[in-house]
Amino acid sequence: MGQPSARLRVFLLDDDPAMLGVLYAYFQTDSRLVVVGTETDSIRALHYIRNNPVDILVSDIVMEGFDGISLIKSIEPRPAVILITAYAERAMDAFDIQVDDCIPKPVDYARLAEAINRVISKVMNTEDAGRDFMFVKDVREGFDAKIVFTEVSLVKSDKNYVCFHLSDKREIKARTTLRELLSILPRNIFIQAHRSYVVNIHRVMKFSRAMRQFYLLDYDAPLSIGAEYLDDFVNAYYPSEKPKI
């Protein structure tokens, strides 16, 4: 199993603010995960998930208006899902839509930990079993270009396009967004370093946390790291040991 290049992104949804706070505090203790959002309103949650990459959704089922089951049916592609409910009769509805787990309230945190471990294993195994390439339409030449992930140094965003910078100095421009691409690129290779670009962590030659900069192999100029991406970059750059002082 490969080492993930970033923590898995968790979104928490519960219309009870107190419960949401408890869940947030619990997930903050797991270094494999990062809580990217919390919400008490399911419509706002749906908007966020449709517009931002989320790996794991933890949601209540029974909420005013748009319930958790309806929310999940509205998401495509769907992240891993753990549902939580005080209504035992709704558990069957949850498993009918093939969620990863449904945990009754009050929450048994030992069971929640088991569910999280299964989901993390599932996500990582899915990534490891995936293909090592993808095809994109090169808008400059009109050909279908084969992108081998290990040959990509950098992917830069340009509005509704992205540009793949390859290790042999070629550049391939495709019509997609960085957000859409992040749901495809393997997380054991790529890390978002800035809101406008993703890098191949294995091609990072040197890095300074103090300056929030890094150098890629065969690139003369340093690249900056956005403050909100710094912690994940550090975890990816030092996957199994603490940073050197």
Instruction: Single out the residue in 105, 129, 153 at which a domain terminates.
Output: 129
Q: How far apart are CA 147 and CA 142, in angstroms?
A: 15
Chain centroid offset of residue 199 CA? 15
34 CB-near residues (< 8 Å, 6+ apart): 6, 7, 8, 9, 10, 231, 232
Is residue 57 within 8 Å of residue 31, measured between CB atoms? no
Q: How far apart are CA 126 and CA 187, in angstroms?
A: 11
Q: Could you tell me the CATH number of the domain that includes residue 96?
A: 3.40.50.2300
Q: Which residues share a beta bridge with 148?
A: 133
Domain that holds residue 183: 133-237
pLDDT digits (tens, 9 = 90+) for 15-37: 999 999 999 999 999 988 999 99
Pair (64, 163) in one structural domain: no
- What mean pLDDT value characterizes the chain? 87
Pair (204, 115) in one structural domain: no
Neighbour tally for 20: CB within 10 Å: 18
β-pairing, 80-85 vs 33-39, is unpaired
Pair (145, 121) in one structural domain: no
Query: Which string of DSSP letters, residue by residue, matches 26-56?
Result: HHTT-TTEEEEEEES-HHHHHHHHHHS--SE
pLDDT of 126: 62
Q: Compute the Cα dihedral for 142, 127, 182, 170 and give only its sign.
A: negative
What are the helix (H) ranges across the chain?
17-27, 42-51, 68-73, 91-96, 109-129, 178-182, 230-237
Q: Could you tell me the CATH number of the domain that includes residue 143?
A: 2.40.50.1020
At 2, the pLDDT band (50, 70, 90 cuts) reads very low
Pair (106, 176) in one structural domain: no
Is residue 225 within 8 Å of residue 216, measured between CB atoms? no
**What is the biggest distance separating any 2 CA atoms in the chain, rounded to whole angstroms?**
61
Neighbour tally for 237: CB within 10 Å: 16
Q: How many domains does the chain have?
A: 2
Is residue 132 within 8 Å of residue 149, measured between CB atoms? yes
Q: How far apart are CA 25 and CA 18, in angstroms?
A: 11
Q: Is residue 242 in some structural domain?
A: no
Indicate the residue type of 138: D
Instruction: Single out the residue in 101, 129, 157 at which a domain terminates.
Output: 129
Is residue 56 within 8 Å of residue 10, measured between CB atoms? yes
Q: Tell whether pTM > 0.75.
A: no
Q: How many residues does the chain have?
A: 245
Q: Stretch 152-173: mean pLDDT, rounded?
A: 93
pLDDT digits (tens, 9 = 90+) for 60-95: 998 887 888 899 989 888 899 999 988 877 777 777
pLDDT for residue 12 is more than 90: yes
